[in-house]
Chain A
Amino acid sequence: MSEPNPASARGTDQDATPVFAVEERILGIPKSRWPGIIAPLVMGAIFLGLWEGIVRYRGIPAYILPGPMEILKTLGTDWPTLSGALWVTLRITFAALIAAVSVGVSLAILFTQSKWLERSLLPYAVILQVTPVVAIAPLIIIWVGDVNLSLLICAWLVAFFPILSNTILGLNSADHNLVALFQLYGANRWQTMRYLRLPASLPYFLGGLKISGGLALIGAVVAEFVAGTGGSASGLAYRILESGYQLKIPRMFAALLMISVSGIAIFLATSYISHRLLHRWHESAVRRES
């Protein structure tokens, strides 16, 4: 094998293809992506315009349906209260997500090491997953006592299963020939985990993370609803309940908006992490010229 330089090596293989395609960028985003960003923005603007128009034209009172402008104004005036609530909810969400990742991944690794552990414990993980969190949240709140901790447990219960089940799938999806190769070179369990199974499971884990990020937020909000006014925690859900009682509907919408924006931010963040980690090698993240 004698080729001295890459160019001639590539020349020998007829199926070699150009490796990188360079695309023009506007504001750091590839040109071809802009329609996908602009289209939903235009759609949203039209929708908001119609909403505002109908509310004003028909004189709908704010306690039934506030217009977008009214909601935005409330968001500004109530920001001190709402931002505090947002912080409470986000703190629970992230704590739950971190707990879900650590418990989910640890359990998945444990399960792939011992089939018996998996057989004995996985059914209970499934039971936890399929039981509606709304139904068991009151019990958890009674048992745990500390409201913050019980909210965290509820959010964690909702968020951890997708990570567990995806990571198990990923750890088991390593190429069987590569597994044989590791065996051939006498790799021990730890090496096989470190160099083969963990990297192979990464795309699956990240898929689970995307789902769990949203679920952690939903779990936190749902648990807050159940906890209601019973505690000192005043997250966004609590603010929504409170605004409902007081007929402060614009504030309710503002809180709702904050929850949605948080959910979107979490989704974008997990998608970005996923893209950063996979774009060099995984099919799902590779952009192709057609």
Chain B
Amino acid sequence: MTEAPPQGRAGQRPLVSIRKLSKKFSNGTLALRDVDLDLFPGEFVSLLGPSGCGKSTLLRIISDLSQPSAGTIEWPGADRADAYGKAEHSLGFVFQEPTLMPWAQTLDNVTLPLRLRRMATSEANARAEAMLALVGLKGFEKAYPRELSGGMKMRVSIARALVTEPKVLLMDEPFAALDEITRHKLNDDLLAVWERNRFTAVFVTHSVFESVYLSQRIVVMAARPGRVMSELQVDAPFPRDNLFRTSAEYAHLCRLGSEALKAAIEA
């Protein structure tokens, strides 16, 4: 366990750099106070903390859905604009709920970000089909969301977030509502996609076990006001599988994570 160094990894330029960021809601709640955080290209970071620590607010600020009250958020490591010339395109967002359009078939749900960019239907469909195959939903293109299980809906949601090939994938407790068996399977599949596409993943969770299993770096946050307490490196190599989940190293890291979370809750 180390205190977060302000400049992160030596020699590498962060993709997103957050400095002294605060967010105060109009009702007076201080959701975030003086948050410093760097996100590096291709890394998998978890934001771990109790309810009300501002994890979701931080994601919304990174995705430009919400504006900070103070502090800066910069994208030094990449020109935020991509091949489409649109800044927003570099981001994918997965909400806690699958947030699918119930009137649209799976394929149309996944092509939505592309259609909003006015991509030709044939190309959008081809990309969406490839992405659905990648998340294990080949054959479900014509299904409506209500015909899918909770885990499958979440897969569709992930496919939709990844179909634009974003540089950063923001996930806001995406698997919190799923049963444990489905969650483990989705964790494995998410890691497989991440290893293949190597986007920067920011994963919000309140599960220590999930954060240790998935990430390279865990940022522990405390509530009231929301702030970064500590950071935990998880150096275990990828690919990770059940062997890792049952290893002594995993158990040890989970204990460290739990202690850090406990300290954050009591702070």
Seen from chain A, the residues whose Cβ lies within 8 Å of a Cβ on chain B are 1-6, 8-10, 12-17, 19, 175, 177-178, 180-187, 191, 195-196, 199-200, 202, 280-283, 286
Contact = CB atoms under 8 A, between A and B. Distances in A.
Contacts of A185: 88-89, 112-113, 116-117, 164
Nearest to B117: A185
A203 B115 CA distance: 24
Counting chain B CB atoms within 10 Å of each CB, the highest count among A5, A9, A196, A280 belongs to A9
A206 B60 CA distance: 35
A224 B18 CA distance: 71
Interface in B84-131: 86, 88-89, 91, 93, 95, 97, 99, 101-104, 112-113, 115-117
Contacts of B144: 280-281
B179 A281 contact: no
Contact of B149 (A10, A184, A281): A10
14 contacts: A1-B135, A1-B190, A1-B192, A9-B152, A10-B149, A16-B152, A181-B95, A181-B99, A184-B91, A187-B116, A196-B101, A202-B103, A281-B103, A282-B103
A184 B143 CA distance: 25
A15 B182 contact: yes
B262 interface: no
Interface string B120-160: 00000000000000111111100111111111100100000
B216 interface: no
Contacts of A4: 138
Contact of B97 (A3, A14, A177, A182): A177
A80 B48 CA distance: 79
Contacts of A2: 136, 189, 192
Contacts of B88: 184-186
A9 B64 CA distance: 34
The 9 A-B residue pairs with the shortest CB-CB distance, nearest first, are A6-B139, A1-B189, A13-B151, A3-B136, A16-B149, A13-B149, A177-B99, A9-B136, A1-B136
A9 B137 contact: yes
A177 B146 CA distance: 18
Given A1-B134, A1-B190, A12-B151, 19 more contacts: A1-B189, A5-B138, A6-B139, A9-B137, A12-B136, A12-B182, A13-B150, A14-B151, A177-B95, A180-B93, A180-B95, A181-B112, A184-B65, A185-B116, A186-B89, A195-B101, A195-B112, A195-B115, A282-B103
A186 to B, nearest CB: 5
Contact of A9 (B63, B97, B140, B179): B140
